[in-house]
Amino acid sequence: FAHAAAAIAVTRPGAQPSVPWRNEIDEFLSQQR
């Protein structure tokens, strides 16, 4: 879960704004399986 959040966050600018929402992480993980 943390790796997925980091994978999304590094594609966005800024510190706090780059942190993904839970639904974004869930969607990302579902696309990886």
Instruction: Tell me the C-alpha distance between 26 and 5, whole Å.
Output: 9
Q: Provide the pLDDT confidence category of residue 33 given band limits of 50, 70 and 90.
A: confident
Whether the per-residue pLDDT at 19 is higher than 90: the answer is yes
Tens digit of each residue's pLDDT (9 = 90 or more) over 7-16: 999 999 999 9
Q: Provide the pLDDT confidence category of residue 31 given band limits of 50, 70 and 90.
A: very high
Q: Which residue shows structure tokens 């790796």?
A: 3
| Torsions phi, psi for 11 (to 5 deg) | -90, 0
- What's the confidence (pLDDT) of residue 30? 97
The one-letter code for the residue type at 5 is: A
Q: Give yes or no for a contact between 19 and 9, defined as CB atoms under 8 angstroms apart.
A: yes
Q: Provide the pLDDT confidence category of residue 20 given band limits of 50, 70 and 90.
A: very high
Q: Max Cα separation, the chain? A: 28
